[in-house]
Amino acid sequence: MQQDQAGRAGRRTVVVTGGTSGIGAAIGRRFAADGDRVIAVGLPAAVASDEEGGVGESAPAGRIETVELDVTHGEELSRFLGGLDELHVLVNAAGIIARDEEFDPGTFAHVVNVNLTGTMHMCTGARTALAQSRGCIVNIASMLSYFGGARVPAYSSSKGGVMQLTKSLAVAWAGQGIRVNAVAPGWIRTGLTRDLHESEATSRRIIDRTPMRRWGTPADVAGAVSFLAGPDATFITGAVLAVDGGYLAC
């Protein structure tokens, strides 16, 4: 049986958007630890802490490259992707949130542009290279892909869109050998959720609502992404895998 290139652990070229901090950084470090060449695409960011970006070990020296790029700039993305010699895995982890501010139309549009349209730009820009390698895409959706968020209408809308985009591209590109899946994180300890997990009352409500009784870590998400891009997932496409400690099951 022929195995797609994205199913072979190690020695692949992996692009991770939002790869300079938080969940994206943890994903990049996981692929690098698995032996892959990783290109972390994102805006300048401080090096992530172990809590926010760690996978329990440092990435091998020189195996993670960083490229400063804004996912809303379509022409820049096309030039970057067109300049790659090869591409096996694309992970779209770039995302923003603006709690209580997303009711403003301009803010709403900006959040959707980064989270949803930016993901679409990357997917379409990478399609040719991924078809050549029979590669795969893993998008970062959210538990808010499934239900609304009172404080974040744009974030919720964009992540719902990411889930449906994932399914649509999976159907459209299966014939080209490209698998497209997503993970839907629950409550993960990152910089985007710092104000929530540092509030004792808020954190307690979240933990009490989560069957596994803890916050998730970026490393939890990175493990799920690694699985979807790996050899045990070669017949999986169009799936959205919840990584939420059972939150959605309640």
Q: Which of 41, 17, 6 is nearest to 226 (CA)?
A: 6
∠161-194-218 over CA atoms, to 5°?
60
Q: What separation in angstroms does the CA of 160 have from each of 75, 96, 111, 141, 155?
A: 25, 14, 13, 7, 9
Strands 37-42 and 179-185: unpaired
The amino acid at 245: G
Cβ(171)–Cβ(238) under 8 Å?
Answer: yes
Q: What positions carry a catalytic annotation?
A: 155
